[in-house]
Structure 1
């Protein structure tokens, strides 16, 4: 923090002996993204955003591995199409990424407006979990549909 915004003081330099009124005016107009009174809010927001980012990266890695392993045995003879696998993974990873970016933007906007932001990150984290679960359900539905069609063709 600098003393550049002190009324009546020299620009871009600290007054040699700030009075109480100058200091109060400067502290009131001071701007920082991490004010001392909101440190817990900032820490919880950053932690939730970091956990969401790690969760999205892990989902992407698991999704890629799952799509590769599921489509390795998928061919037209068994009636299997990889669209459900890829769609479920895209919903999970893409949805979590979009929610994460929106959450970061809204949280930084709240910081700039000097509002609490932990609840924005918490809602984003929960929505990311919901979207990842939804993508997993779509993926599992494709896996169940593929195995059901292959068992029907095996009995025929």
Structure 2
């Protein structure tokens, strides 16, 4: 083969797409919700909404729990509220960060026309795990303040 005998169409202007092909391409490229992927989009939105509701519930519970736990906490009582705030911060802040990252990754998958339900499912599971870890840290701080942790000796007779 030589440079003068290149296979393919002859050099010169190539015909462009027909009007029907152009209309089909524009119709397919103008929506984030194509008909074939509707179930994927619905499941993704439901999982993202469930994660947002879980984060909101965790925030309300954290505010009430920190307020009630620190009401009697002070220097005279010998407790520090740092563990309470740490546990609440892990639960609420961590689940918020995971939620934002999940939304960004899901929308990026939509733009690239990929499935995204699995991204939202992993985000929801991570949100549950982070809220659980924050709750464990908070409960450990409460146990340490009360002197009722398994490794401590109680002052009660």
Q: Normalising by the residue count of structure 2, what TM-score does the alignment of the two structures yield? A: 0.80
Counterpart Cα distance in 2 of 1:137 and 1:76: 24
The Cα offsets for residues 83-140 of structure 1, whole Å up to 9 and x where unpaired, read as: 0001100000000000000000000000000000000000000001100000000000
Larger Rg: 2
In the alignment, what sits opposite 1:62? 61
Unaligned runs of 5+ in 2: 1-15
Unaligned runs of 5+ in 1: 1-6, 9-20
Residue 75 of structure 1 aligns to a residue whose secondary structure is coil
> Is the counterpart of residue 27 in structure 1 residue 14 in structure 2?
no
Residue correspondences, number: 137
Aligned-pair CA distance for 1:23: 3.1
Correspondence 1:123-142 to 2 at 5 A: 123-142=122-141
- 1:49–1:121 contact (8 Å) kept in structure 2: yes
Q: CA RMSD in A?
A: 2.1
Residue 77 of structure 1 aligns to a residue whose secondary structure is coil
> Is the counterpart of residue 106 in structure 1 residue 101 in structure 2?
no
In the alignment, what sits opposite 1:11? none
Give the structure with the higher percent helix. 1
In the alignment, what sits opposite 1:116? 115
- 1:78–1:153 contact (8 Å) kept in structure 2: no
Correspondence 1:65-76 to 2 at 5 A: 65-76=64-75
The Cα offsets for residues 8-62 of structure 1, whole Å up to 9 and x where unpaired, read as: 8xxxxxxxxxxxx633442234331000000000000000001111110111011
Q: Normalising by the residue count of structure 1, what TM-score does the alignment of the two structures yield? A: 0.80
Alpha-carbon distance change, 130 to 153 in structure 1, aligned in 2, over 3 angstroms: closer
Counterpart Cα distance in 1 of 2:83 and 2:61: 16
